[in-house]
Amino acid sequence: MPPTIASLLADRPLGLRLLTSEGPAGDTSREVRWVHTTELNDPAPFLEGGELLLTTGLRLADPGFDLEAFLSGLVRAGVAGLGFGVGLNNAAVPERFVAAAAAHGLPVLEVPKATPFIAIAKSVSKALAAEEYRAITEGYRTQQDLVKSALAHEPQRSLVRSLVRGLGPGAWAVLLGADGSVLHSAGPMPAGLDLAPELARLRGRMLPSSASIMTDSGHVEVHALGVGKRVSGFLAVGLLGRDSGPDITGRQILAVALTLLTLGVELPTKDVTVAELTLRRAVVRLLLAGHVDAAREAAGELRVPLPPEPVRIARDSVRDEAVPERMFVLEEGNERVLVAPADYPDFAGGVSDAIGYADFGRGYRQAGEALATARRTGRPTVSFAEAGSGLSTLFADQAVRDFAAAVLAPLTEADRSALVPTLRAWLAHNGQWDSAAAELGVHRHTVRARIARAGELLGKDLTAADSADARMELWFALRVREGQ
């Protein structure tokens, strides 16, 4: 479990004491995602949400200090609570501070003089690291279980059950045929749930496609299975009592399950067995999620293992010719992904820079950009460096560089070191919160908070349906900035 107000109170060496015990301010189940120290009149612009904010109350004696504005800003920023250090600027936590914080629903913890603020930060950091490790190991274990389920006597039934176990309490799943008939189910699926409208909407769309809906019982997602526009089945997944979908680990588990279930409803291609295709897809999913060690372990079961680093990634249409044995190949629908040693001479399609497996996600995106250029120009092979050469000429124009600098100025001038890379990742993943969060190694709520803050600085709602032009300008400006 992630650290909470309650777990910090239970950490006896810290000696913290809760001063607000009634109403929302007495809620000790709030998760603490970071610890931040401040003596500013308005720290809210520097927060992302989920922080335990520590202060010694230095500004309380300032005649110009507005306590109500201070607390209102913290509520809007989504802080988890307040820690007040005593014995320095204040012998005790002022009653008016406690009463005002309680009125705003913010828990107040008394921090004794003997407890340095850094000790609280270390306690939270240690708990967060343990939680992240637990999530990664549990996610990896579940992904292994899914791969084993795909090789079981009744693979689809086993996969659905493994998926529900991996998503945790309150999860349910149902595998449906192309006609909407129930094939397998697991978990407490709500009675009377009508998925027919969502199935109808997903039929005929280019795959992969999905839909999310909120029901009286909680969050529900429906994913179409198949290749191209041919829907071969559906997977519906729900989380009882939840108003949002799975977390990052759950998303990775679900992605693996969808790949394996798609294999179950599609015929194996050429002379490659379903088990081999299953493992290849699992390896690529793990690499894209950044789990290199897990990917290497899974690849150890393959007939053709991963090539040694450095490697290049090539993406192209599926081809009939044979591939040398030392190449790792995966076919996804109509696209082929080839991973080969960096010095391999006969790449085709879009080709990435030479990378290590830790940068697999970046290399995969580079190959995709190069492939788009190859298809647009009709060339058989385009490297990522060549794909950017046309833009590089444009980037050299001073007027273009001035334009890019002006577009990004509100972010760069505000010195928000996390905003620009977060915006870049979010735009690169087409506004997908979970994918951007996975690349950055943060929670999706952190990505949401950063994008919201970037929008405030830019004076634009970047998530609005009519903000495509703004997002396009920002993406262009970021590419110019990277090309300088």
Domain of residue 359: give its range.
302-385
Residue 188 maps to a domain: yes
pLDDT band at residue 393 under the 50/70/90 scheme? very low
Cα separation, 422 vs 197, in Å, equals 35
User: Which H or E element spans position 334?
Assistant: none
Residue 33 maps to a domain: yes
- 380 shares its domain with 410: no
pLDDT at 434: 82
Exposed (0-12), middle (13-18) or buried (19+): which is 344, by Cβ within 10 Å? middle
Asked which of 351, 370, 385 is the last residue of a domain, the reply is: 385
pLDDT at 264: 60
- 400 shares its domain with 381: no
Cα separation, 246 vs 235, in Å, equals 15
| pTM greater than the 0.75 cutoff | no
**Range with the lowest mean pLDDT among 13-27, 278-292, 390-404?**
390-404
For the chain, what is the domain count? 4
Closest CA to 282 of 373, 149, 177: 149
pLDDT at 273: 56
- 364 shares its domain with 476: no
Helices (H), 56-207: 67-77, 95-103, 117-150, 155-167, 196-202
In order of 177, 230, 355, 417, the CA distances from 180 in angstroms are 5, 14, 43, 48
**Crossing angle of helices 433-440/419-428, nearest 10°?**
130
Q: What are phi and psi of 354, to 5 degrees?
A: -70, 130
Residue 135 maps to a domain: no
Cα separation, 266 vs 260, in Å, equals 10
- 329 shares its domain with 419: no
- 375 shares its domain with 402: no
Residues 6+ apart with CB under 8 A from 390: 373
In order of 46, 142, 239, 250, 441, the CA distances from 149 in angstroms are 46, 10, 22, 17, 28
Residue 129 maps to a domain: no
Q: Is the pLDDT of residue 152 over 70?
A: no
- 48 shares its domain with 104: yes
Q: Which residues of 238-266 are buried (b: 16+ CB within 10 A; e: fewer)?
A: bbbeeeebbbbbbbbbbbbbbbbbbbbbb
- 343 shares its domain with 441: no
Residue 227 maps to a domain: yes
Percent of the chain with pLDDT over 70: 87
CATH number for the domain including 231?
3.30.450.40
Asked which of 362, 385, 408 is the last residue of a domain, the reply is: 385
- 145 shares its domain with 259: yes
Residue 130 maps to a domain: no
What would the pLDDT profile of 325-337 be if each residue is shown by its tens digit?
A: 667 887 766 788 8
Q: Report, as an integer, the average pLDDT of 443-453.
A: 87
Rg (C-alpha) for the chain, rounded Å, is 26
Residue 463 maps to a domain: yes
What would the pLDDT profile of 129-138 be if each residue is shown by its tens digit?
A: 887 777 777 7
Cα separation, 193 vs 355, in Å, equals 47
- 189 shares its domain with 260: yes
What would the pLDDT profile of 233-272 be if each residue is shown by its tens digit?
A: 899 999 888 777 787 778 878 888 887 787 665 444 444 5
Please tell me which of 69-78, 458-467, 473-482 the model is most confident about, judged by mean pLDDT: 69-78
Residue 281 maps to a domain: no
pLDDT at 391: 53
Cα separation, 271 vs 274, in Å, equals 10
Cα torsion at 442, 8, 125, 449 (round to 10°)? 30
What would the pLDDT profile of 353-373 be if each residue is shown by its tens digit?
A: 999 999 998 899 888 888 888
- 352 shares its domain with 369: yes
- 239 shares its domain with 180: yes
**Range with the lowest mean pLDDT among 56-70, 188-202, 468-482?**
468-482
- 313 shares its domain with 339: yes
Asked which of 320, 355, 385 is the last residue of a domain, the reply is: 385
